[in-house]
A and B are shown apart, each in its own frame.
Chain A
Amino acid sequence: MSTEPVLGSEGTQKHLDELAQQTNKPGRFSGLNSWWEQQPRAKQWAILLPIALLVFFLPVINPPIITTEPGNDWPLACFDMARFALVALGLNVVVGQAGLLDLGYVGFFAVGSYVAALWTSPDSSYVHIPYLWTLPLAMLVTVAFGICLGIPTLRLRGDYLAIVTLGFGEIIRLLATIIPVMRGQQGFKEVGHPPGPSDHGVPLFANNHGTPWYMLTVVIIVIVMILLGNIERSRVGRAWIAIREDEDAAEIMGVPTFKFKIWAFGTGAAIGGLSGALFAGQVGFVNNQKFDVVTSVLFLCAVILGGSGNKLGVIIGGALVSYIPLRFTSIAEYKYLIFGVALVLLMIFRSQGLIGARAHLLAYARQARARTKEIASRRRTAEPTKEAAS
C-alpha cells in the first residue's frame, strides 16, 4: 500500500483533453479561435496588420454595396459606426465584464459631450481650451460622475442597480434642460475640433469631413482596446469576471468587490465620456435632445448583440447597430423593432452574442498553457514507471 496520496482519480487525462477541446470555446467560431491561439505572435500580427489597414482606410475605400451612399455620406457613417463601437467598448466593461446592468450609460456620454461643448464653444462663458484637451478632461469629469454615482448605488444588485442607473441617465438630461448654464434646447454651437491644415478655409476636421474624424476615433479605439486588454488580463479583469459570475464567492475569496465595481464604473464612464466628447466635436452642436433613454438601450443592444464580455464582439455589435439604419434608410424608422426582434432571436439561438468567445484573463497564458501540457505529458510518461516501482 503506497502512502502517497492518490489524487485526481475522477477524470482521466483523455477525458480532460476532450473537455478542453469541446467546452472552452463554444459556438461556431470555435475552430478558428483555437487555431488562432496556437499561431505564433508574428503570424498573428501578419494577419492582423492588413485587416487593421483595411479598417483604417474604410472611408476612403468606400466599398460598393456595403456603402451607405447615396442615402448617407459614407465617411460620416463610418465615424458614427466608430463612435458606437467606442461606446460599446466602454459599456462592455460595466455590463459585459463586471456584470453591472447599466441602463443610464448615455448619461456619461452626455457629460462628455457637454464637457467638450462648455470648454470650446463660443456660446459658453467658460475658459476656452484647445479641443483635444477636452478629451482627457471629459474622461476625468465622467470618471468623477461615475464614482459619485457608483458609491451610493453599487451596493445594489441586478434589477435595482439597473433602475437607479436608468434614473441617472434621465437626471443628466433633465439637468441639461433645467440649469441655465447648460442652455437646454438652445444648446452650444461651434464646438471645437482638433487642429489641422485647412483647405480653402475649410478645416481638416470640419463637421462634414467624416474621414479624419473616423481615423482619429479608430486610433483611439485601438489604444483603448490595448489598455482594456491589459486590464482584462490582470487581477482587475479577473476580479470583474469573478464578480459577474458569483459576487458573494468573490467577496469571500478576498476580492474587495466594491472597490473593483467602482473601478469598472469609472473605466466605463471614462470611455463613455471620451466618446461623447468626440461626438460633440464632430457634430459641432450639443443640446439636450440627443441623450434619451432609448439611446442608452441602443448602446446596451450593441453590447449584447455583439457578444457581451468580448471586446471584438462589442465593437462589431456597436458598428452594426449604427450601420443598419444608415445603410437601409427605408427601414431606418423601424430600427428599434428590428433590433428588438434581432435580440430575441439572438437570445434563443445564440445567447452569447454574435462573437461570444471567452475572455482570457491571464497575462502569461502562453506560459501557463505550456506548463499544463508539460505536466500532463510528464504524468503520462511517469505512470508506467511508478506502477512498476510499487
Chain B
Amino acid sequence: MTNMTPDDIPEVISDDAAPAAPPSLDSETAEKAAAERDISVAVGETLVEIDNLSVTFGGLTALDAVNFKIKRGEILGLIGPNGAGKTTCFNAMSGVYKPSGGDVRLEGVSLLRKKQHTITRMGLARTFQNIRLWGEMTALENVAVGLDTRHHTSLFGAMLGLPRHRREEKSSIERGMALLEFVGIADAAMTKASALPYGHQRRLEIARALATDPKLLCLDEPAAGFNPAEKENLMELIRTIRDDGYTVLLIEHDMKLVMGVTDRIVVLEFGKLLAEGPPKEIRQNPAVISAYLGEEADGGAA
C-alpha cells in the first residue's frame, strides 16, 4: 500500500466522473460495513495457507503443488498468463473442484472435503469472473441471500413470523443497505439485478460476498470490462475493504491495477508457482518479466 501515491491516480476521475453521482463514502458507512467477525489470528499472521495444492483434470495438471500464504489484513494479488491456474486455484479453495493433493487451511483448519456452503460460512467468500447474480432478485435481495450465513430462522420461524425471524429480517435490511452504500450502489437497492448497469453488477457481487462476513474475500477479475476511471474507483474500493478489516485475494489481468493496489503478489505459470513478493520485486523479477510482464513492459501500461 505504500507504493501508491495520489499522484499515480490519473486526473481523469475528477473530470469524467463528476456528473455521474459519485457517492461520498463517509466514515459512518464504512464503519457499518466493517468486518464483524472474530478472527483467531492476529493482523499480519497467516490467515490462509495453500499447502502443496494440486488439481488435475484427467491427465492435465492444472495446479501443481502450489504453496503460498495469505496474511490477515493484506491484499494479495494472484496473477499469471491465461491458463496459468489462477481461477482453478480459486475453485479449489472454495470447494468447487476437489484438489488431487495438498491442503487449504483457513486459520489452521483444513477446507478439504468441506461443502461449498460450509467453506463460505467458515469465512471464505468469492466473486465470479463472469457475473453470477440472481437476476430476478433486487440488489438488496441479492445481498440479503449473502447475509443468510448469519441467519438461523427455520421454515417454521419464517412461516409464523417468530421474533428471531423479524429481528433477522430487520438486521438484514440494515446491514444490506449499509453494504450497498459501502460499494456505492445503495440508490439501486430496489432494482432488479439483471437490469443494473454492468459496473453496478460487479459492485453488487462484491457487496454480496461481503455480506457473508468473510475472513478472506476472493475477487476473481473484478475489473474485467471496466474503463480506466472505473478501475481507479474499484482500486479505491478494494483498499477501503481492506481498511475495514477484510483480507483480500485478488485475481486480475490489469497489471496497473494489481501493482497499484496489492501488498504482495503471487505469480503462477502453467500451474506452478513462479514468483512471490511485493509488487516492486515482482516488477523487476526477470522470470516474471519473461513469462508475463514482458509484453506489458514493452508495450507500456495497459
Using a CB–CB cutoff of 8 Å, the interface residues on chain A facing chain B are 1-13, 15-16, 19-20, 22-24, 227, 230-231, 233-239, 241-242, 244-246, 248-257, 263, 266-267, 358, 361-365, 367-369, 371-372, 375-376, 379, 382-383, 386-387, 390
Given A235-B153, A368-B173, is A19 in contact with B144 using a C-beta cutoff of 8 Å? no
User: Does B183 belong to the interface (CB within 8 Å)?
Assistant: yes
Output the nearest chain B residue to A1 by Cβ-Cβ distance. Answer: B6
Closest to A6 in B: B22
CB distance A254 to B149 under 8 Å? yes
Decide if the interface of chain A is mainly helix, strand, loop or mixed.
helix
Complex CA–CA separation, A143 to B157 (angstroms): 17
Q: Are A1 and B9 in contact (CB under 8 A)?
A: yes
What's the least CB distance linking A136 to chain B, in Å? 14
**Nearest CB in chain A: distance from B37 CB, A:** 13
Give 6 A-B pairs besides A8-B187, A250-B145 with Cβ atoms closer than 8 angstroms.
A7-B237, A8-B23, A8-B200, A241-B134, A367-B170, A386-B24
Cβ of A375 and Cβ of B187 under 8 Å apart?
yes
Cβ of B146 and Cβ of A254 under 8 Å apart? yes
Chain B residues within CB distance 8 Å of chain A: 6, 9, 11, 13-14, 16-25, 94-96, 115-117, 120-121, 125-126, 128, 132-138, 140-141, 144-146, 148-149, 151, 153, 155, 158-161, 165-166, 168-170, 172-173, 176-177, 181, 183-192, 194-200, 203, 208-209, 212, 229-230, 232-233, 236-237, 239-240
> Which residues of A lie under 8 Å from residue B23 when comparing CB positions?
7-8, 379
Given contacts A7-B23, A7-B184, A371-B173, contact A255 B145 (CB under 8 A): yes
Per CB-CB distance, the 5 closest pairs between chain A and chain B, nearest first, are A7-B184, A10-B199, A234-B158, A5-B236, A254-B120
Distance of A227 Cα from B158 Cα, bound (Å): 8
Q: Which residue of B lies closest to A236 (CB)?
A: B158
Most buried by B among A239, A372, A376: A372
| Alpha-carbon distance between A23 and B144 when the two chains are bound, in angstroms | 20
Q: Given the known A-B contacts A11-B199, A368-B140, A386-B24, are A248 and B117 also in contact in the complex, defined by CB atoms under 8 Å?
A: no
Query: Which B residues lie within 8 Å of A4 (CB)?
Result: 22, 24-25
Instruction: Report A-chain residues with C-beta under 8 Å of the C-beta of B229.
Output: 6, 9
A254-B148, A362-B141, A364-B169 known; A230 and B236 CB under 8 Å? no
Contact A235/B117 with A7-B22, A10-B20 known, Cβ cut-off 8 Å: no
Chain B nearest CB, measured from A200 CB (Å)? 42
State which of A24, A266, A363 has its C-beta within 8 Å of the C-beta of B165. Answer: A363
Chain A residues with CB below 8 A from B6, complex form: 1, 3
Give the docked Cα–Cα distance between A246 and B135 (Å): 9
Decide if B146 touches A375 in the complex (CB within 8 Å).
no
Q: In the complex, which residues of chain B have a beta carbon less than 8 angstroms from the beta carbon of A237? A: 158
Q: Tell me, in angstroms, the Cα distance from A11 to B96 when the chains sit together.
A: 33
Interface pair B19/A12, CB less than 8 Å apart:
yes
Contact pick for B166, options A256, A363, A369, CB 8 Å: A363
Contact A1–B21 (Cβ < 8 Å): no
Partner of A245 from the list B137, B151, B176, B177 (CB cut-off 8 Å) is B137
Chain B residue with Cβ nearest A386: B24
CB neighbours (8 Å) of A368 from chain B are 140, 173, 176-177, 189-190
Shortest Cβ distance from A363 into B: residue: B169
Bound-complex Cα distance A365 to B144 (A): 12
Chain A nearest CB, measured from B179 CB (Å): 13
CB-defined contacts of B191 to chain A, threshold 8 Å: 16, 19-20, 23-24
19 A-B interface contacts by CB (under 8 A): A1-B9, A4-B22, A4-B24, A4-B25, A5-B237, A9-B199, A11-B188, A16-B191, A235-B148, A244-B136, A246-B132, A246-B133, A250-B134, A252-B95, A362-B173, A363-B166, A364-B170, A368-B190, A372-B186
| Distance between B4 CB and nearest chain A CB, rounded to angstroms | 11
Known: A362-B169, A368-B173, A368-B189. A227 touches B148 (CB 8 A): no
- Residue contact A1 to B169, C-beta cutoff 8 Å: no
Chain B residues near A358: list those with CB within 8 A: 136, 192
